[in-house]
């Protein structure tokens, strides 16, 4: 049985940050090549400074898949560590230093609700429907796509995944993030009439069967509670104050925000665009607080604003602190069950089918 440690022992809570950092460095040295620490862009600076590799969920999954390290400590949210365990070997162990770190978006769709919707959809249409799940979903949904001729996508390859799917079927069932599905399909010239939101409660009579029959893409009603906070009105305000501003938003932002932006893309794309922009340029950015604040610190010569009056933060990403990382590293060898993420082999096998289809895109 795995042991989950979200509450650290009391004596560790009294340590100073300097002591924690020093113990992390010592533990890392001891574990040497047996250890790989992965840090998602939305992790705090205190984690990022110890990470061996930093990236978005897709990049980190690929790094995990290519790693030979025995212990992979994934500083991100639960679904990312689950995917990392699926893509690594039986001889490798994946850990999430705080297994309570879930994802609001991934939790918007559970496998039972998706299976029910899938069965209901089949009663409405005879056309071939291809399921696509966003990377930000449970491994069970990735396995569902694997078993049903579907695919996984990320925010950087969603367009290619949709092209792939429409070559194989008339319709796409896209979950869990409605915004990524709508923003990407619209960018590909699918009209809003052909983009339908699935009524997951089954009570909204305004969604009629004809809308489903005429749809090219049916969206699950899920969203990220961080990215949905960004506002189109803030873009108008920033453009009034800074006519030369460029706006870039993550495609998990709502339709109006992405439509009013100059560009949209994954966290990796946002970082690249800002890094490569000219001195004195002005940016409005629609993504998570810790990443944007890091960009602000790095680029003193540029002005970078949030697309909101405040800075929306992913609370679950913040659940991994340097003390959690230290505790994880110090307990890796003696008791490697702490915070271990171990997925069911059959689920992993089915999930790999849809993940591999994505990797082949
Ligand atoms: S930012 Fe949104 S999608 Fe990303 S981990 Fe947090 S809740 Fe999930």
Mutate to test the pocket of ligand 1, among 105, 229, 287 (most ligand atoms within 8 A of CB): 105
Structure confidence at residue 337 (pLDDT): 81
Strand partners, 95: 73, 340
Question: Residue 233: which CATH number?
Answer: 3.40.50.10800
Of 162, 194, 224, the one marking the end of a domain is 224
Q: Which of 163, 189, 224 is the endpoint of a domain?
A: 224
From 93, 87, 32, 35, select the one nearest 64 (Cα to Cα).
87
Atom of ligand 1 nearest to the CA of 40: 5
Ligand 1 atom with least separation from CA of 314: 6
Q: What is the pLDDT along the chain (361 residues), one digit of tens a residue?
A: 455 666 788 888 789 999 999 999 999 999 999 999 999 999 999 999 999 999 999 999 999 999 999 999 999 999 999 999 999 999 999 999 999 999 999 999 999 999 999 999 999 999 999 999 999 999 999 999 999 999 999 999 999 999 999 999 999 999 999 999 999 999 999 999 999 999 777 655 556 788 999 999 999 999 999 999 999 999 999 999 999 999 999 999 999 999 999 999 999 999 999 999 999 999 999 999 999 999 999 999 999 999 999 999 999 999 999 999 999 999 987 667 889 999 999 999 999 999 999 999 8
Residue 23 domain boundaries: 10-102+316-343
Atom of ligand 1 nearest to the CA of 77: 5
What pLDDT is recorded for position 353?
98
How far is ligand 1, taken at its centre, from the CA of residue 104, in Å? 6
Examine the domain organization and report whether 45 and 147 are in the same domain: no
**Residue 35 domain flag:** yes
Residue nearest to atom 6 of ligand 1 (CA): 314
Residue nearest to atom 8 of ligand 1 (CA): 103
Q: Residue 8 has what pLDDT? A: 81
Examine the domain organization and report whether 332 and 300 are in the same domain: no
Evaluate whether residue 86 is within a structural domain: yes
Q: What's the confidence (pLDDT) of residue 1?
A: 45
Residue 351 lies in a domain: no
**Domains: count for the chain:** 3
d(CA 28, CA 222): 38
Do 171 and 208 fall into the same domain?
yes
Are both 218 and 250 inside the same structural domain? Answer: no
Of 4, 247, 249, 267, the C-alpha closest to 135 is 267
Ligand 1 geometric centre to CA of 33 (Å):
30
Regarding whether 115 and 203 lie in a shared domain, the answer is yes
Take atom 2 of ligand 1 and give the residue whose Cα is closest: 224
Q: What separation, in Å, do the N-terminal and C-terminal C-alpha atoms of the chain show?
A: 37
What's the pTM? 0.94
- Output the CA 321–ligand 1 centroid distance in Å: 17
* Surface-to-core class of residue 166, CB atoms within 10 Å of its CB (0-12 exposed, 13-18 middle, 19+ buried): middle
Give the pLDDT confidence score for residue 112 in this predicted structure. Answer: 96
Total residues found in the chain within this entry = 361
Asked if residue 75 is part of any domain, the answer here is yes
How far is the centre of ligand 1, averaged over its atoms, from the C-alpha of 102 (Å)?
A: 8
- As a whole number of angstroms, the longest Cα–Cα distance in the chain is 63
CA of 225 to the centre of ligand 1 (A): 7
* Residue 334, pLDDT score: 64
Ligand 1: lining residues by beta carbon, under 6 Å: 42, 77, 103-105, 136, 224-226, 288, 314, 316-317
Return the residue whose CA atom lies nearest to atom 1 of ligand 1: 314
pLDDT score of 11: 83
Give the number of the atom of ligand 1 that is nearest the alpha carbon of residue 42.
1
Residues 219 and 111 in one domain: yes
Q: Pocket of ligand 1, candidates 316, 318, 320: which has the most ligand atoms within 8 Å of its Cβ, to mutate?
A: 316
Same domain, 269 and 336: no
Nearest CA to ligand 1 atom 5: 103
b/e burial code for range 244-279 (CB count within 10 A of at least 16 → b):
ebbbbbbbbbbbebbebbeebbbbbbbbebbeebee
Q: Rounded to whole angstroms, how far apart are CA atoms 131 and 137?
A: 13
Ligand 1 centroid to Cα of residue 136, in Å, is 8
Residue 177 domain flag: yes
- Assigned domain for 1 exists: no
Q: Are residues 244 and 320 both part of a single domain? A: no
Q: Are residues 61 and 117 in the same domain?
A: no
Give kind and range of the element (H or E) at residue 88. none
Is 194 in the same domain as 256?
no
Are 57 and 110 in the same domain?
no
Q: How far is the CA of 210 from the centre of ligand 1 (A)?
A: 33
Same domain, 232 and 287: yes
Asked whether residue 353 is domain-assigned, the answer is no
For residue 356, is it within any domain?
Answer: no
Among 191, 206, 224, the domain boundary falls at: 224
């Amino acid at each position: 049985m795995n042991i989950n440690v979200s509450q650290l022992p009391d004596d560790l809570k009294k340590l100073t940050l300097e002591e924690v950092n020093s113990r992390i460095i010592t533990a890392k040295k001891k574990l040497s090549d047996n250890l790989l620490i992965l840090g998602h862009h939305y992790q705090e600076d205190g984690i990022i400074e110890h990470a061996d590799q930093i990236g978005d969920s897709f990049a980190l999954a690929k790094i995990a898949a290519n790693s030979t390290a025995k212990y992979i400590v994934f500083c991100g949210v639960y679904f990312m560590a689950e995917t990392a365990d699926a893509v690594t070997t039986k001889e490798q162990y994946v850990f999430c230093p705080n297994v309570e770190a879930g994802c609001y978006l991934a939790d918007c769709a559970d496998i039972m609700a998706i299976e029910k919707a899938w069965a209901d959809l089949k009663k409405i249409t005879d056309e071939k429907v291809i399921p696509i799940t966003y990377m930000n979903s449970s491994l069970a949904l990735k396995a569902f796509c694997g078993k049903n001729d579907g695919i996984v996508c990320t925010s950087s390859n969603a367009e290619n995944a949709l092209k792939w799917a429409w070559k194989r079927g008339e319709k796409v069932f896209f979950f869990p993030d409605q915004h990524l599905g709508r923003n990407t399909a619209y960018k590909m010239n699918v009209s809003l009439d052909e983009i339908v939101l699935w009524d997951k409660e089954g009570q909204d009579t305004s969604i009629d069967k004809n809308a489903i029959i005429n749809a090219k893409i049916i969206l699950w009603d899920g969203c990220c509670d961080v990215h949905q906070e960004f506002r189109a009105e803030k873009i108008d305000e920033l453009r009034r104050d800074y006519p030369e501003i460029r706006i870039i938003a993550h495609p998990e932002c709502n339709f109006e925000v992405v439509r009013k932006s100059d560009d949209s893309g994954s966290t990796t794309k946002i970082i690249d665009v800002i890094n490569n922009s000219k001195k004195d340029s002005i940016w409005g950015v629609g993504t998570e607080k810790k990443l944007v604040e890091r960009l602000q610190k790095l680029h003193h010569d540029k002005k970078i604003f949030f697309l909101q009056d405040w800075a929306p933060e992913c609370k679950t990403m913040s659940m991994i602190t340097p003390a959690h990382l230290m505790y994880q590293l110090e307990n890796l060898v003696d008791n490697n069950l702490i915070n271990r993420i171990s997925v069911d082999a059959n689920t992993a096998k089915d999930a790999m089918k849809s993940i591999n289809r994505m990797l082949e895109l």
